A and B are shown apart, each in its own frame.
Chain A
């Protein structure tokens, strides 16, 4: 098992650096970073000075290796935009994104798994239809629109929660609902499909024949098998929420790492961008790895491989 983990981690590092090398090249294609730094009204002389000062006139590969050699020693460099250490900026923003991501995935799981189980228990019933409706709506509403609707109703009309900012736990309620709801349909549909499949298996019929209570059959015997793909999906969704909660962070002015990544692209802030890509890819890899371990725990057959 230890060797297995080491191998996975080594692979993870390789993947992360491949991603960073590709993204480095892509970011330069998006426009001259000196122009982005100098701003819209800059004169040509400004851009020339910035080019020389930041070393953008050096070959791309030299710039990349320069960044890489520092990154491996833990020095992520200084943000070109904020003129502050990248580690400090990301350190400031990451807790917001982590809080939001964890709250949102918890919300999504709490909402979608019971709904998926209930829908599978009585396929095509009114409960199933209702769950389907919730899923379709969740898939169809763009999150910025849903976010604004919640702001209009709960913040402006009722005055229950703040509309934007991240000062208190109350600030996280609406963003959690919006981001979590977005992940709900996929998890719910997968739970439902898995449950329906498992419930028609022979061992469930045997369990029923033995006279086990329905609740025990559903949650102890059926769900444990049905939930395996859901764990993998939740891991991917969690990775997505950390890196991709751009819209939600923007609507609620949360200033997390997702929004920072998006803004850094438009500002051509390479050091910040590179560090974030590295961190996000590590997150993805970690969550996928944790999901594998969890699945192996849930399903002994997977431990053999």
Chain B
């Protein structure tokens, strides 16, 4: 947090004594703000968290993952079974209608799956859909989804990003029409869209209500307010009832005022340092030496950074995935903070006086600078190269980055493949290029046998930790601030579920 922001927040906090928040319980409207201008409401054509929030309110997936128990339940499908490794048969819920009155049936599923699985249609997040080859109708309420290859986290995707569109409507209006007038089967229907700026949702009376609750609050009003301090001002003015992604220091101040509910929940996103073990950036660079990588791991006091900066419910992580993800082995090698050991390891590696290296980062600059301070103490001099995400990712893809602070949100998917699969299978973001790890992960991701997957991921994650290819840092957390009249229990996947809100 920059100093001016901090000052601004304090000034607002001090002055807020004069006003009390007035929630909009009277007109049954929950008001909140997006920081980012969302490109389109059509979930298949945006990659933003704001888009996920809206999608969960407007549309339904075939399945649903209970955010508390992690159990998969039927949603638009009531039963599902694997016919073989690449064929999933689903029985669909009867009597469901879309917001425009179109009845939901197998044609909608077949149309949606076939549309999004076709690369020509340019779905933005291919990972969410490219595992499906096509869908076939068995009868009006039975469909089969056919995969290219076995894909174990299929249920997770069907419960998350893959939502069902009305076939007739989408065929007529396409993505542009869906963006302006979205139609789904979800608990909220959209009453108005001002692209990127303003969205109004209204509870859908005809919602099927199982396993998700029907909406309790009548209307949701979302405005885009880019400056977070302005959001806080509007919160004090009673123009907003709910703030999310509140920076830790501001959440503490709001909590101290004693007039608002402040909740904190862990997120799937984790931070990590990736080191150029395979020597892509520099074939003889220090990071190719495992002793150096372990020295880095012992040099940084991650707990101190969590306590002082990251705060909330964040924890130090040791494994290269998020704890709540499936097959995320926790029993891996851990590197405690021990600068003397770090110095000894550096000396053993042939760097008794340390060395100098570029350190790339793209977010949370204070965290990066704190880590640089710790590294400096053991003799590793770092030059911070702070770039925009796209520029840094570009450089990483070209193998030009020897040492970098990264984070990964796994698109809120509770499966280790969402993070390990992307970073350790020889792709452009893979700095380790460990053939053994790649083989284990690939094998794990091509079998639906859950125990086998757990075993293979365990081997892969243990080796990643043993070799210190990454230094996993900490989990991220999200602060939510609500007026006293709002009731909502945040979940640990960074998804705000409007249908779970109610008035006290």
Contacts and interface: CB of A to CB of B under 8 A. Distances in A.
Interface string A17-51: 00000000000001111011111111111110110
B230 A151 contact: yes
B78 interface: no
Nearest to B427: A44
Describe A's contact surface by its main secondary structure.
helix
B233 A152 contact: yes
A38 B409 contact: no
Contacts of B16: 156
B489 to A, nearest CB: 25
Interface in A206-263: 250-253, 255, 259, 263
Contacts of B410: 41
Nearest to A81: B39
Contact of A151 (B175, B233, B408): B233
A84 B45 CA distance: 12
A137 B41 CA distance: 44
B408 A46 contact: no
**From A142, A165, A267, residue with most partner B Cβ within 10 Å:** A165
B409 A41 contact: yes
A35 B389 contact: yes
A84 B195 contact: yes
Contacts of B391: 30-32
Contacts of B119: 49
Given A44-B429, A49-B119, A148-B11, A30 B388 contact: yes
A268 interface: yes
B48 interface: yes
A153 interface: yes
Given A43-B422, A253-B223, A35 B393 contact: yes
B18 interface: yes
Interface stretch (B55-63, B121-129, B255-263): B121-129
A266 B362 CA distance: 13
A74 B7 CA distance: 46
A155 interface: yes
A259 B391 CA distance: 21
A38 B397 CA distance: 14
A164 B234 contact: yes
Contacts of A266: 388
Given A41-B411, A44-B397, A148 B12 contact: yes
A253 B227 contact: yes
Contacts of A2: none
Interface in A154-169: 155-157, 159, 162-165
A164 B394 contact: no
Nearest to A46: B126
Given A42-B47, A82-B196, A152-B11, A253 B40 contact: no
A39 B236 CA distance: 32
21 contacts: A30-B388, A31-B388, A31-B389, A31-B393, A35-B389, A35-B393, A36-B389, A38-B124, A42-B126, A46-B124, A47-B397, A49-B119, A50-B122, A144-B8, A164-B233, A250-B227, A251-B227, A251-B230, A255-B197, A263-B226, A267-B39
Given A142-B4, A255-B37, 11 more contacts: A31-B390, A31-B391, A39-B48, A39-B125, A42-B127, A45-B127, A46-B126, A49-B119, A50-B122, A156-B16, A253-B224
Interface of B: 4, 7-8, 11-12, 15-16, 18-19, 37, 39-40, 45-48, 119, 122, 124-127, 130, 175-176, 179, 195-197, 223-227, 229-230, 233-234, 236-237, 239, 387-394, 397, 408-411, 422, 427-429
